[in-house]
Structure 1
């Protein structure tokens, strides 16, 4: 795990080797930022979690999420690139999905998605779930907001995200 080199000032905030941009999401205990690698320009999403606010159970859930993401490498599962720690915070550097989530995709189309597109997304969801099953994990929070899309178009790659509730089956 890398250490953060956060800096204030006119150049914007840095987390590790990433220049942090605008906020693109938030949850109960996290904020997600769009960022770019300072040298390569690669776009990423940085999930910033304030660890001091997490109960012991939530800290265990976070560690479980990290363990799962480290083990799975599949086109239909969000990819974890790096973990950057600083006092009181942990940053998960994740694959950036320009297309947003499936909820917004459906909403922008007024609930009307072509059958061929729905089939395309469901096949990808099934492929992602199959990989989780083969690795003995269950997601436990599947919903359109946790299904991200690589692009805005109908041929986007669907990616399962947010493994905070995921567990190995008992």
Structure 2
């Protein structure tokens, strides 16, 4: 950590956190989340390996989306002023999504990296607004409910 900057605390929510209320701009049945967690100091290169693994196995990751009811997911790396490195994860998911299925090889590898590389838990930012063209919004809401392409 940088001695000149104050330490940025990490305050994860409890495991049973139900999620923040959704703003009216998020379709019913969907959860918009922006989560962050600190990368364990010294594990920054392994974080990059983790993201490289997911990019390399992109098609396998896409195959997990219907069960998870994941409309989209995006992951970012950020270095704070105190020198700490953080992972930010943005997602739009259906309420009935399954989450990771560790019997699936890519989800198992994802979970293993998660356990080693980031601190346990997530801080959850409060969603306030989502803007989407109507035709995409309708398709996202359908996918989030069913995990299927709208007909």
Structure having the higher helix fraction is 2
Structure with higher RCO (Cα < 8 A, 6+ apart): 2
Question: Which TM-score band applies after superposition, normalised by the shorter structure?
Answer: 0.3 to 0.5
Structure having the higher strand fraction is 1
